Amino acid sequence: MIQRETTVGRTMSKRGAEGILILGFIGIGLTLGLALLKAPSVSINAFESPDAQRIFYWHVPAAWAAFIAFGFLFVGSAMWFFKRSNLGWRMHVAGAEAGLATGLITVWSGMVWGAAEWGVPWDWTDVRLNTFGLLTFLALFLVLGRQSQPDGVETRDTFSTFGLYGFVLVPVTYVATRLWQIRHPGPVVGGGDGGSLAGEMAIILLIGAISFTVFIIGHILMSMRITSLEQRLERIQKSMDKV
């Protein structure tokens, strides 16, 4: 009976993660639809390319979700490094993968907007742009690097170290537009006077933020489950090696 309940519980938790991920996907799609079809147009005096601004309803929530993922990565890295927690390692792996996915969405959408508004997709002297790009590169390094190594304390220690150091970039990226306002737009929410949104724009952005948050939670849960299954498979294979 206990065995059956555990199996049912696992199946429900697996389906729960899948459900959250699918819900997040639907929300992300809805945000894109609302951004393109419903969001009000911005002033043609304020932007070179006003229509391109619609991509921000994706760009900003994706960046928000990426910060959540990088937070997971940092907490997971610290939990593994200082406490040798297997849960911490799974959080590290999940945070890196989710950070890579949302980081790439942020970078790609930002480049599309930059090409339309600035005339160039990338500006090497813009600090936020570059620090965010570097966070995405760090996530890429952690994902590809981990896949190239056998699992073990050496692998986990090394990549956790990079995860811990890399997190320094998160607060730098967050405050970058306040400290070095070169070309990157300042904060749209909580940025003080003149930077806030109102009305329909804020609602669509909120839907985007909630959707990406749901997506990132689903992604992290799925990823942690996959890592857990990989570890289980390895334990079974090792026990079969001894027979």
Partner 1 sequence: MTDALLNLNSVTVRRGMKTVLSNLNLQVSSGQVILFNGKNGEGKSTIIEASAGLIPLEVGSVHHHGELLIDESGKGGKPVHPFGLTLQADGCMGSQRIEEHLHNTMDITGSRIEMDSILERYNLKHRKHDLIAQLSGGQRRKVAMIAGVLPGFVSTKPRLIFLDEPDSGLDQASRTSLIEDIHYLRQKGHAILISSHNKEFEKCATHQYNIDGMVEIDQESTPEIVRDEMPQQPSKGVIALRNGVVCNNRTMSTLAYNGIAGFLTLGILLALVDTTKLDTGTIQKSGLILSSAFAAGLVGDSMVQMLHEHRSLAWWKAHKQGIPSSYIHGSILGFALTLLTQLAMDLPISWELTIIGSILTTSTMFIVRMFDLTSARLARPRAAFTRILTPTLILPFALLVQWVTDSNLI
Phi, psi of 144 (to 5 degrees): -70, -40
Q: Tokens at residue 87, please?
A: 């849960």
- Is 124 a binding residue for partner 1 by CB under 8 A? The answer is yes
Closest CA to 77 of 170, 168, 161, 169: 161
Looking at 15, 38, 84, 178, which residue binds partner 1 (CB under 8 A)? Answer: 84
One residue of 153, 189, 202, 229 binding partner 1 per CB under 8 A: 153
- Each as own residue / partner, the long-range contacts of residues 202-207 (CB below 8 Å, 24 or more positions apart, any chain) are 204/31, 204/34, 204/35, 204/38, 204/39, 204/57, 205/56, 205/57, 205/60, 205/61, 207/27, 207/30, 207/31, 207/34
Binding residue (CB under 8 A) for partner 1 from 45, 125, 237, 239: 125
CA distance 203 to 39: 9
Interface pick for partner 1 out of 37, 43, 45, 152 (rule CB under 8 A): 152
Give the x/- contact pattern for partner 1 in 18-57, rule: CB under 8 A: ----------------------------------------
Is position 134 an interface residue for partner 1 (rule: CB under 8 A)? yes
- Residue 230 as a binder of partner 1 (CB under 8 A): the answer is no
For the record, the structure tokens of 80 come out as 């593994």
Residue type, 32: L
Out of 141, 174, 175, 210, which residue is the one contacting partner 1 (CB under 8 A)? 141
Stretch that binds partner 1, among 20-28, 61-69, 90-98, 150-158 (CB under 8 A): 150-158
Degrees (nearest 5) of the Cα angle 227, 232, 238? 125
Closest approach of Cβ 158 to partner 1, in Å? 5
Segment lying near partner 1 (by CB under 8 A), choices 47-55, 68-76, 152-160, 188-196: 152-160
CA dist 198 and 100 (Å) reads 31
Q: Applying CB under 8 A, what is the total number of residues that bind partner 1? A: 28
145 binds partner 1 (CB under 8 A): yes
Contact flag: residue 151 with partner 1 (CB under 8 A): yes
Strands (E) in the chain, as ranges, are none
Tokens of 235: 């334990």
Binding-site member from 11, 49, 161, 181 for partner 1 (CB under 8 A): 161
- The answer to whether 138 contacts partner 1 (rule: CB under 8 A) is yes
